[in-house]
Structure 1
Amino acid sequence: NRVIGYNKAIPWNIPSDQKRFRAITMGHSILFGRVTYEIIGRPLPGRRNIVLTRQEHYQAPGVVVVHSLEEAVSACAGEEELFIGGGGMVFEETVDLADRIYLSVIHGVYQGDSFFPVIPGSFREASREEIKETPPYSFIQYVRKG
């Protein structure tokens, strides 16, 4: 049901998915909305953390603060990949800019107030791995068509 959060938390805890996220994003820049960053509470080690906020004087130790998506992209000029770490509003603003989407789909119905956007028709599924854990989930990679 595209839920990614409820009451400022992820409604599940899947260590193998967290480990995969860490491995995929390690050594790269990762963009978070301010609220998502504050929920995490610290910069993610081994990554360049970028926080997008409308708050003009926002500061956080160990992160690059930007005030627009354009500023975030500019801050990553020359980098191979910029990962989007959420939340829902940042995913919504960036999904049409992406070339690739790494998505964990949790098999279950969860209450939520933050959602991942619908995958645009300009993407195709490139790979899918079914993970038989509790809860079970699929790890899917989408790539832009053409």
Structure 2
Amino acid sequence: MIILIAAIAENNALGKNNQLLWHLPDDFKRFKNTTSGHFIIMGRKTFESFPRPLPNRTHVIISRQKDFNIPDCIVVNSLDDAIKACPKNETIFIIGGGEIYNQSIEIADTLDITRVHHSFDADTFFPEIDLTKWKLTSQDFHPKDEKHNYDFTFETYSRINN
């Protein structure tokens, strides 16, 4: 199973200058709990936005740079190679960035979205979710509070098999 996991704004914004646009501790906690113990696929820029590799996950990094090498991570040159590097019959999470989401949305089984209820100035965006191909199967709204500056909703979409 291939799951795209992302936090996206109302205008599909993901980030700007390789940085997140918001700080939502409950989203970080959900991301950690959901992806822990799994293979995570990402682009090089997404990987470089982390202070260090994320614990208890196998990182598969897509990069066109021939000499890009990170100890204890798998580096490949394409999305196809990234998927082939992951174990068969296991859940794989694709965690960004925008170009990797664009390449992978057509092969994903599930979208695990944190919808941030605000629009942001951004330079990286999640692809449009085509509701003729995806069905919203669950949602869990969280109002803003002292730790969260924005309302947000955890949303799960399943591919509609036509």
TM-score computed with the length of structure 1 as normaliser: 0.96
Distance 1:85 1:43 in 2: 13
Out of 112, 120, 129, the position equivalent to 1:102 is: 112
Task: Provide the residue aligned with 1:82 in structure 2.
Answer: 92
Identity of aligned residues (%): 34
3-state SS of 2:68 partner = coil
Q: CA deviation at 1:81?
A: 1.1
Distance 2:24 2:43 in 1: 22
Distance 1:79 1:57 in 2: 30
Structure 2 residues without counterparts, runs of 5 or longer: 1-10
Task: Provide the residue aligned with 2:65 in structure 1.
Answer: 55
Task: Provide the residue aligned with 1:91 in structure 2.
Answer: 101
Extract structure 1 runs of 4+ deviating beyond 6 A.
none
Structure 1 residues without counterparts, runs of 5 or longer: none
Matched to 1:132, the amino acid is P
Q: CA deviation at 1:79?
A: 4.1
Task: Provide the residue aligned with 2:155 in structure 1.
Answer: 140
Measured against aligned partners, the alpha-carbon deviations of 1:84-112 in whole angstroms (never above 9, x if no partner) come to 11100001110111000000110112110
Higher relative contact order (CA 8 A, sep 6+): 2
RMSD after superposition: 1.0
Structure with the larger helix share = 1
3-state SS of 2:67 partner = coil
TM-score computed with the length of structure 2 as normaliser: 0.87
Distance 2:71 2:143 in 1: 38
Distance 2:16 2:89 in 1: 32
Task: Provide the residue aligned with 1:41 in structure 2.
Answer: 51
3-state SS of 1:7 partner = coil
Distance 2:86 2:71 in 1: 19
Out of 125, 134, 141, the position equivalent to 2:136 is: 125
